[in-house]
Amino acid sequence: MLRIIDARTGEPAPAARRAPTRVEAHAPGCDATALRVVLVADLLVRVLELDGTPAWGVLTGAEKGGRLRKDAAALGIRPFEDGDAHGAGTGQSVRVVGEGGSGEAAPDAAIVSVAPVRPAVSDLTDPDAVRLALLERHHHARVGLDAAALDEARGTLARWRRSVADWARHPSRPVPGEVRDRLRAAWEDDLDAPAVLGVLRQVETAPDLADGARFEICAYADRFLGLQLTRDVGTAY
């Protein structure tokens, strides 16, 4: 079961399975931290959907038609509804906010706190690398988007996409149950993206895995990560 750390209590709060859930990204401004808030909300919606939970994302605090929505789309974040124009709705609610804030959240809503990004203005010339660099650190930890971090993310993505394209040429094999369980345990434990990436790094070099299984594992994990790992399937390197 998905557990998130509620910033109000500092304790894990279980998210009820299959109860309609409103995920609110409260992101005033359009800096890199606001973008990270929307990214974490996107991860939360993805996990809920993977569990069969009806979920919808809304964005509050942002200027309509502002740069934040455009930057979020560049990072592969699906469009969020305008939450300022909607009521709380039915079912449970989770609010994702920048560190130290909660805004006007409903009393029974869990609060997910997201640590700041430095520098405040991010370079989105390679948005996929930015997304991976942000995922490399847990959302409770501050993250730096410096040139070194982006170069490392860019290199990792290129290597994984080449490998996935190669593995796709081999007969498909199912995702091993043990690997599936590890991936789910990671993203259901407070959206632990670094742990999910760690599983992929182990899968990349595990000697006892068929290449067809490696492909399916990466495709499955990417339903959470949103890194377009299968983008280059069919490409000749």
**What pLDDT sits at residue 30?**
87
Half-sphere exposure of 186 (CA within 13 A, CB side): 21
Q: Do 215 and 129 share a domain, yes or no?
A: yes
**How far is residue 176's CA from residue 132's CA, in Å, rounded to a whole number?**
25
Q: Considering Cα of 153, then 159, then 161, then 167, what sign does the dihedral take?
A: negative
Tell whether 150 and 102 lie within a shared domain: no
Q: How many structural domains is the chain composed of? A: 2
pLDDT value for 120: 84
Say if residue 108 is in the same domain as residue 91. yes
From 120, 143, 158, give the residue that closes a domain. 120
- Of the candidates 93, 120, 147, which is a domain's last residue? 120
Mean pLDDT, consecutive 10-residue segments, the chain of 237 residues?
A: 90 76 91 96 96 92 81 94 64 88 70 94 88 97 94 97 96 97 97 98 95 98 98 81
Q: How many CB atoms lie within 10 A of CB 54?
A: 12
- Which among 17, 224, 22, 27 has a CA at the least distance from the CA of 113? 27
pLDDT of residue 91: 72
Write out the H or E segment, with its range, that includes residue 63: none
76 plus 96 within the same structural domain: yes
Other C-beta atoms lying within 10 Å of the C-beta of residue 173:
16
Residues 112, 145 within the same domain: no
Q: How far is it, in rounded angstroms, from Cα 50 to Cα 168? A: 23
Q: Are 10 and 111 in contact (CB under 8 A)?
A: no
Whether residues 8 and 72 share a domain: the answer is yes
Boundary residue ending a domain (60, 93, 120): 120
**CATH number for position 99:** 3.40.50
Q: Are residues 111 and 141 in the same domain?
A: no
Q: How far is CA 119 from CA 1, 144, 150, 203, in A?
A: 35, 7, 12, 32
Determine the pLDDT at residue 28.
Answer: 87
Assess contact for 117 and 65: CB atoms under 8 A. no
CA-CA-CA-CA dihedral for 199, 203, 208, 211, to nearest 10: 150
Q: Do 65 and 141 reside in the same domain of the chain?
A: no
Pairwise CA distance, residues 90 & 184, whole Å: 27
Query: Do 92 and 179 fall within a single domain?
Result: no
Task: Report how far residue 117's alpha carbon sits from residue 104's, in angstroms, rounded to the nearest whole number.
Answer: 23
State whether 15 and 84 are in the same domain.
yes
Are both 129 and 108 inside the same structural domain?
no
The predicted pLDDT at position 59 comes to 94
Token output for 182 = 């590890």
Shared-domain flag, residues 127 and 115: no
Domain range enclosing 58 = 3-120
